[in-house]
Structure 1
Amino acid sequence: MTNLQRSAFELLSEPVRRWIWQQKWASLRDVQEKGIPAILAGGDVVISAKTAAGKTEAALLPLITRLANRDQVQDGFSVLYVSPLKALINDQFRRLQGLCEASGVLLNKWHGDVSADAKARARKRPSGIVLITPESLEALLVRRGSEAKFLFSALDAIVIDELHAFIGSERGVQLTSILNRIEIAADRDRIDRIGLSATLGDMALAAEALRPGDGDRVTRVHGLDEGNGVKLQIRGYLLKGKDNGTAVEVDEDETDEAEPDKQHDEFGIPAALAADLFRFLRGDSNLLFAGSRQKVEVYADKLRRMCEDAHLPNEFFPHHGSLSKSEREDVELRLREDPRPTTAVATTTLELGIDIGDVESVGQIGPGYSVASIRQRLGRSGRRAGKAAILRIFVIEPTPDKGGHPLDRLNLDLIQSIAMIECLREGWCEPPAPWGLHLSTLIHQILALIVQTGGLRPAAAWKLLCERGPFKTVDRSTFADLLRCMASKENRLIEQSPEGSLMIGEMGERITESHEFYPVFATEREYRIIHETRVLGTYPISSPVAPGETIIFSGRRWKILEIDDVTRVITVKPTRGGKPPYFAGDGGGIHDHVVGTMRKILGSTAAYPYIDAVAVSLLADARLAFKELELETRSVIPYGNGSLIFPWIGTKKLQTLMLAFLARNFEASSFGHSIEVQEVNVSGVETFLRTLADADPPNGEVIAARLAKPNLAKFDHHLSADLMTMVTLKERLDVASLPAVARSLTEPLPKVGKPSPMG
């Protein structure tokens, strides 16, 4: 092993070095060369590198070495390895068993499927490394609070795998709070934290997320493993009309008699796309990310029937969160160990590092909603030596009808797909979301802390959770308001003893005694959509909607009259206007940078060698429409009896601008990357925008009042109206951006630059 850089390899303990020799590694990977000395030096470390670059070993090799170098062995676990998924823990357990056995380190896995006897043995004689989920860690603290010091006082480090999956989410805030509670219970000032991630757009924000308030002291390691290269292509398809057997609109009276093929075609699988998927994927092992669970089932069923029609064994299997654990594991096992060709048609469930072995290629239906996601998916392919990673994005665009919506002419799914690849090419990735208030998660942590400790005073709870913990944006006054809200007659989550200690209240006992308490995330809530007395269906509230807004549902355009959060009912009526635009996908938050890149692509003449002939034609049509609609020189254009606004901004700012119009009693709705304002001409829209541009940011409470209270987080329904407004303004809207956004829409547009195509 002469080509190993001795500076990293020789720092490792003798058993670890021997294990590396036994694996016949030719050399350490770049991320390991950099990560080993950083972790051996002590302190917090963030490690970022492409998927399958060896990040797990970059963390565990030096940590096991640190354990070997200890002067004395203490009772207690030595390393906590926190992972977001039980399946990932099972994979890592298989992967690390040999290393731990060779090093004399006990390896434990701990999640809901591990037997109570195994957990009891580990608690009785805690030692070595524990692979655990945040929820199991929470349950351990809450149920065994008195044992926390015994279990964790010897901790040498805490590893957080798939760090990007936690940052900015309720689950990530919960985990950071748990780690803080462990440090306090173990009577330690700080325990080293090591974050591992394949997709981090801003290492500084990631470091701050790993150690809130002290991110500057976190060491940052970025692996530069070049891999085996990338092959990618964007392929375009036209979603044709009824005469071509696709996009069929089925009336309610005809639903029962509609042919199965037409029902599937209604979901928009052009024949050319189905044929290409079958041609590209059959005969190898692949991943196809289809989007929603419904689309996963539709595509998997279509490809399965194509296998049957060709008298071939089925190679296509769905994989999503609503399937049973055994169904998902069967697909994972077949990909990992079965030589038969297998394509998993998946949602995001296979985006993280679950071990599925080597796949030939990755496919994706539509553009997706983040560059980070594409980077993560791309890393699932190209793991074999000399084999490039292969990514194909399949984009479906509607055939524009005479008098159709202008958005249909711009082919924005294709433009967004190209923008995503151009961002990927330039090395850009979405930064972690800024820290919010996360009051729902704070409610959860207050309850968990009370159960763990048996009760504590409000000042001690604030100091532990907010001053030292992750809820640093919550001041004493807001914390006091939250406690009063939790203790109210409506909630009865907590109460205060005569001595002043916080205790669990009547409703709090019911919540904390349930096994459903430990996860901090809420399952997706659905609202019934009702027109007059008829239920049209259910609508998932995964993004905010507001009264007065127009939504597209069941192939029709509806105006929201009222939203009842208690009964979860959205009351609607039909609304007029142009033909609703077609959008693939189910919505998602898109970053400003991606949308800005889309405008540059539409306004340029750059060619992109990775798009096929159909996509080239669709791009030319979109650019022609961009010119004919005069979007090169203006942002507001007439449409129907109103106006269309193209701000070219991300989802959060677009939603905030739309609500600003609603707050001034305009009839406004956001579609794709635009806002439609009815009954108001271009001059009227521009007058309002100039007023908005010349003033200070409007009253946020007035803007937020137009937004339905969707109760997105698990305990949002326990928040008062004032506290919910604070959360909305901090986390879900961007009121401060309104003057600058309005100003950009009223001033002459900057000349569109020419993005350089990917070679």
Structure 2
Amino acid sequence: MSTTLLHPRVATAFYGRFAQLRPIQVAAIEPLINGSNVVLSSCTGSGKTEAVTAPLVSRHWEAAAQSGALFLIYIAPTKALVNDLEKRLSPPMQFMGLRIGVRHGDRDDLAAGSKPAILITTPESLDVLIFRKDPALAIVKAVVIDEVHLLYNTQRGLQLSVLIKRLGRLSSCHLQWAALSATIGRLSDVRDFLFGAGNDCTFIEGQSKRAIDAVVKPVVSVQAFNSVVDRMLGDGSAKLLVFANSRRQCEELASSLHTHSRRGSSVFAHYSSLSPEVRVETERGFAECKTAVCLATSTLELGICRAALGRTTGN
């Protein structure tokens, strides 16, 4: 099966660069185009975002282009992931002539004039929009929940389940949904927890495992850490994402690399207490460098396209 069920413009926008679609992308087209709900699980880097977004855009974009209304809300659990998704989805949306917007604690595109057709947000920001009965929610037609394993069977997920039901009452349209993750056990449990066992949906399960070349090695000093970084980056054709346990540790290791490593100009630090502008600039700088090191707390656990990384490590 190819992209024949997608609108030709949508197929070109999302998949025109690729010789063929991945299996989960093919599997998601028909149920979503036909209005079904979907729970989709597949390994990191398998194209889950495009797998659900392309059919939903194909189903609704012409009406949205005419009305200028918000039709799709894409929910992600962290600000960094929201920012990364905006960068990922902006090119196909621009090709379609549709505006994409962001709403989280650092940014509110709904308050910046013309409304986006697609809004990427966090559960907490969605709560704010629903509480104030934002007019933009009046004809929302679809919701996507990314990295759903972080919400399943948690208080935060239970709150999101309530929010989706409230959103369904605010919208004048039937609300279609899709839930995505790389790590789900039983897909039906996600449907039951977030949407209720009575909700009809299609379960799509792709490849769930990917080989990892893992080495566990104690690093006993900052000097030893610098040496390990230099060896892992090798000839300068890779990136290294290092997770630290605290902001202080991020700063100490980044300072040491700046001072003692030949890669000082491409060393970044990322943690929650940085200003929004600095965090965004850090994410942009790390993404644009051919070779770089980023020291981060859990703020970047979900906010980086792992396919673009050479190696990941913890400290």
TM-score, reference length from structure 1 = 0.37
User: Offset at 1:327?
Assistant: 3.1
Aligned to 1:53: 46
User: How many percent identity over aligned positions?
Assistant: 29
1:212 corresponds to? 196
SS of residue matched to 1:155: coil
Question: Over residues 438-485 of structure 1, what are the superposed CA-to-partner deviations in whole Å (9 max), with x where a residue is unaligned?
Answer: xxxxxxxxxxxxxxxxxxxxxxxxxxxxxxxxxxxxxxxxxxxxxxxx
Alignment of 1:126-525 (within 5 A): 128-143=117-132, 145=133, 148=135, 151-186=136-171, 191-214=175-198, 217-224=200-207, 230-236=212-218, 269=221, 272=224, 275-281=227-233, 283=236, 284-307=238-261, 313-339=264-290, 341-355=291-305, 358-365=308-315
2:25 is matched with 32
Note if contact 1:45-1:221 (Cα within 8 Å) is conserved in structure 2.
yes
CA contact (8 A) 1:211 1:218 kept: no
Query: CA 1:107 to 1:298, structure 2 compared with 1: closer, same or farther past 3 Å?
Result: closer
Q: 1:134 to 1:352 in 2, by over 3 A?
A: same
Structure 2 counterpart SS, 1:110: strand
SS in 1 for 2:177: strand
- Aligned partners of 2:183 and 2:208 also within 8 Å: no
Query: Deviations 1:60-97 (Å, cap 9, x if unpaired)?
Result: 11111111577997784211112233343333333323
**Greater mean deviation of Cα atoms: 44-53 or 93-102:** 93-102
Which residue identity lines up with residue 90 of structure 1 in the other structure? N
Measured against aligned partners, the alpha-carbon deviations of 1:125-159 in whole angstroms (never above 9, x if no partner) come to xx73222232332222222x3x55xx334322111
Q: Deviations over 1:555-575 (max 9, x none)?
A: xxxxxxxxxxxxxxxxxxxxx
In the TM superposition, what whole-angstrom CA distance separates every residue of 1:165-201 from its partner, at most 9, and x where no partner exists?
A: 322333322222211111122356x512111222223
Q: What is the SS of the residue equivalent to 1:81?
A: strand
> What amino acid maps onto 1:170 in structure 2?
Q
With a CA cutoff of 8 Å and minimum separation of 6, indicate the structure with the bigger relative contact order.
2
Superposed counterparts of 1:715-754, under 5 Å? none
Deviations 1:288-315 (A, max 9, x none): 12233343333333434432xxx66354
Cα distance in structure 2, aligned partners of 1:331 and 1:356? 16
Match runs of 1:570-609 below 5 Å: none
SS of 1:321 mapped into structure 2:
coil
One-letter identity of the residue aligned with 2:165: N
Output the CA distance in 2 between the equivalents of 1:11 and 1:42: 13
The whole-number CA distance in structure 2 between the counterparts of 1:272 and 1:131 is: 41
Distance 1:109 1:58 in 2: 20
Q: Secondary structure at 2:272's aligned position in 1? A: coil
Tell me the distance in 2 between the aligned counterparts of 1:291 and 1:351.
12
- Distance in 2, matches of 1:72 and 1:336, equals 31
CA contact (8 A) 2:257 2:263 kept: no
Look up the match of 1:625: none
Match of 2:4 among 2, 5, 10: 10
Q: Does the 8 A contact of 2:82 with 2:303 survive in 1? A: no
Answer yes or no: is the 8 Å Cα contact 2:78–2:299 preserved in 1.
Answer: no
CA distance in 2, matches of 1:115, 1:79: 16
Q: 1:324 to 1:196 in 2, by over 3 A?
A: same
CA contact (8 A) 1:285 1:343 kept: yes
AA paired with 2:244? A
Structure 1 letter corresponding to 2:175: I
1:161 and 1:197 in contact (8 A); partners too = yes
Q: Which amino acid aligns with 1:49?
A: S
Distance (Å, rounded) in 2 between the aligned partners of 1:72 and 1:322: 38
Q: Give the secondary structure class of the aligned counterpart of 1:231.
A: coil
- 2:251 maps to a residue whose letter is E
Distance 2:20 2:79 in 1: 31
1: distance between equivalents of 2:129 and 2:14?
Answer: 34
Equivalent residues of 2:39, 2:179 under 8 A apart: yes
Given that residues 31 and 225 in structure 1 are in contact (C-alpha distance below 8 angstroms), is that contact kept between their aligned partners in structure 2? no
Write the deviation string for residues 32-82 of structure 1: whole angstroms up to 9, x where unpaired. Answer: 011112212323211122222111111111111111577997784211112
Residue identity matched to 2:129: L
Task: Give the Cα–Cα distance (whole angstroms) in 2 for the partners of residues 117 and 17 of structure 1.
Answer: 28
Following superposition, the deviation at residue 120 of structure 1 comes to 4.7
AA aligned opposite 1:64: V
Please point out which of 62, 80, 95 is paired with 2:88: 95
Aligned residue for 2:114, secondary structure, equals helix
Q: Distance in 2 between matches of 1:226 and 1:116?
A: 37
Question: Paired residue for 1:259?
Answer: none
Q: What letter is aligned with 2:164?
A: L
Question: 1:78 corresponds to which residue?
Answer: 71
- The count of residues paired between Structure 1 and Structure 2 equals 313
- Secondary structure of the residue aligned to 2:314 is strand
Q: Taking structure 2 as the reference length, what is the TM-score of the superposition?
A: 0.83
| Cα separation, partners in 2 of 1:305 and 1:118, compared to 1, 3 Å | same
1:162 alignment partner AA: E
Please give the alpha-carbon distance, in whole angstroms, between the structure 2 residues aligned to 1:114 and 1:71. 23
Taking a change above 3 Å as real, the CA distance of residues 323 and 168 of structure 1, as seen in their structure-2 partners, is farther
- DSSP 3-state at the match of 1:275: helix
Contact 2:74–2:146, Cα closer than 8 Å, also in 1: yes
C-alpha contact (below 8 Å) 2:41/2:183 kept by paired residues = yes
Alignment counterpart, residue 64 of structure 1, candidates 39, 46, 57 = 57
Q: How far apart are residue 214 of structure 1 and its match?
A: 3.5
2:37 aligned to which of 41, 44, 59: 44
Q: Considering only CA atoms, is the larger Rg found in Structure 1 or Structure 2?
A: 1
